Structure 1
């Protein structure tokens, strides 16, 4: 088993951690820390760790991917446990993740903190926001979306290298993609440790938490684009044909074509071969619901504008959930 530790401007806590892992292979990635930190990396090298040095700071995501590639090349077939360099992951917790990894067929084992006791406000806020956002976007509950203590079986290393992202958002994208592909996840409870109010963390609670909302925000933007096309086309076609039902059908076909292309490429980054067929089936159902609701509400309210807005509001959430689970 390999312990992979990305490190940016570490202190002697990195040396202490590596010293407590004599029974594991250790790979440390120096993420462009510079000459001022040379002694720290020399210290872990003397303890037997492989040190991979990046010429400049790329970010945690790129450091991890560099480490995965190194493990694949030098230690093929070995599982990997990733840990942080700032002393917040105990050797016994790393061992616990490694044991769970050997006992399960999960694609990812997460060392989950319970966030009990004195927890810095920014860490509690960050985890609460990203956990809620993750569940909203994926429908999957994860106790600790920000944990840096994660285990991966060897079959996942190539997959890990293919996920986009260089900085903090990379680990969030790993979870998002794993949930989207319905890969099995496992969790192991670990100690919640914060040193000096988590001063060594490079996590930015507002900016980095908002990154998790990216998929949902992109979906909303895509839906708004589709709505705009549908809205304009509906009124133009209704004025030309005088037939609300026919206008609604034609407008929906046009907007659905645009919406599918945007969602497939930018929202869900789907490679599913049958996504077009699934989307067409969903679009047909949504079209039927749209026509019925639009016809009924326009008759009840006497306003095509109000009926259209109400119909789209009702169908937005249902469409997102179905696309996330069944289409892409």
Structure 2
């Protein structure tokens, strides 16, 4: 097992964490200095003397960049044990870090989160930010996670290839993990840990505005691609129906175009993956679902427009409202 700790401008709390971990177990510890500068090199030298492996960035690349440097290193040396990622600011108890590894030893475990319960005296910014992110993530993906922003995460070694391919260099990297995990076949499990905030979390390097934007951007892109494809489908339906007078052809062609657009946007900009095997699997699932939705869409639209005599625009709006929840649930459950 290896404990991976990304670190930027650390203090003595990192040393204390490492010492306590070594007291609990003869574990390998990998620390990534994310461009902390000369003022902090004495801390990293102490870590090296104590037996830690320390990798250095010349400049600050962000937490995601530091984690990926660690993952690439572990992949190159052929790591076979569990990998546990922990923060360097003392917010994760050594006992909780070890518990994550023990849980990963259970069959079928993939991404294990050390989830904070946010009880007791928790800074408002941290409580509010996690609550909001949890709600948005749950609505967007259909997955309920108590703590989407935890830095305590565990992975088996066979996930290293996948971890190295996740896009993002700063805090958005950890959100991208959660957005892609289920889609790529990795289960997400949680283990509740102690919630520790030292001095109101003032040592955090999280930038409230810029890093919040980067965290929410993948979720916003995911939602925006669905919204834009819906607009495209609506416009094409009206135009094709106007020129052909055939409702089925209009529904078929507009749905093919909007589905292709939606799939391409999600693959290229939301999940940013190009693995051929994953592409074939998700492509098959997506367009199988698209055919089912298309037939359902046509049936409901035919009833409203042809049988009940509603104007096409009104009929289209009612149709989309009727099948939206079914379509949305199916896409997030079986495709993305």
Common fold: TM-score over 0.5:
yes
Structure 1: distance between partners of 2:235 and 2:66: 47
Distance (Å, rounded) in 2 between the aligned partners of 1:219 and 1:94: 32
Alignment partners' CA distance in 2, 1:249 and 1:279: 16
- Correspondence 1:312 to 2:317: no
Provide the residue aligned with 1:257 in structure 2: 260
- Alpha-carbon shift at residue 32 of structure 1 (Å): 0.1
Query: Aligned to 2:327, what secondary structure does the other structure show?
Result: helix
Q: 2:280 aligns with which of 270, 273, 281?
A: 273
Determine the structure 1 residue equivalent to 2:13. 13
SS of residue paired to 2:90:
coil
Asked whether 1:26 is paired with 2:26, we answer: no
**Residue 293 in structure 1 maps to residue 300 in structure 2:** yes
Structure 1 match to 2:2: 2
1:176 matched to which residue of 2? Answer: 179
SS in 2 for 1:141: coil
Question: Does 1:233 find its partner at 2:236?
Answer: yes
Please state whether the residue corresponding to 2:192 is helix, strand or coil.
strand
Structure-2 separation of matches of 1:257 and 1:225: 12
Deviation at 1:228, TM superposition (A): 3.4
Question: In the alignment, is the contact (CA less than 8 A) between 2:176 and 2:218 conserved in 1?
Answer: no
Equivalent residues in 2 for 1:73-112, closer than 5 Å: 73-74=76-77, 76-112=79-115
User: CA deviation digits over 1:176-223, x for unaligned, max 9?
Assistant: 222222313332222110001001112245654554554453344333
SS state at 2:204 partner: coil
Within 1, Cα distance between the matches of 2:106 and 2:226? 43
Answer with 90-99 or 112-121: which moved more.
Answer: 90-99
1:318 and 1:142 mapped to 2: Cα distance? 22
Q: State the match for 2:149 in structure 1.
A: 146
Report if the CA contact (8 A) 1:101-1:153 is conserved.
yes
SS of the counterpart of 2:146? Answer: coil
1:47 alignment partner in structure 2:
50
Shift of 1:3: 1.6
Gapped runs of 5+ residues in structure 2? none
Tell me the secondary structure at the aligned position of residue 237 of structure 2: helix
Post-superposition offset of 1:7 = 0.5
Q: CA deviation at 1:10?
A: 0.7
Listed as ranges, the matches of 1:59-208 within 5 Å are: 59-74=62-77, 76-205=79-208, 208=211
Aligned length in residues: 328
Instruction: Report how far residue 146 of structure 1 moved.
Output: 1.2
Structure 1: runs of 5+ lacking an equivalent: none
Contact persistence 1:268–1:324 (CA under 8 A): no
Q: Are residues 1:324 and 2:332 paired?
A: yes
Alpha-carbon distance in 1 for matches of 2:178, 2:221: 17
8 Å CA contact 1:138–1:180 kept in 2: the answer is: no
Tell me if structure 2 keeps the 8 A contact 1:134–1:212.
Answer: no
CA distance in 2, matches of 1:168, 1:15: 23
Q: Which moved more, 1:258-267 or 1:180-189?
A: 258-267
CA deviations on 1:50-86 (whole Å, 9 max, x unpaired) are 1111100000111111112223344632322111111
CA deviations on 1:4-23 (whole Å, 9 max, x unpaired) are: 11110111111111111222
Query: In the alignment, is the contact (CA less than 8 A) between 1:145 and 1:172 conserved in 2?
Result: yes
Alignment CA distance shift 1:251-1:272 (3 Å):
closer
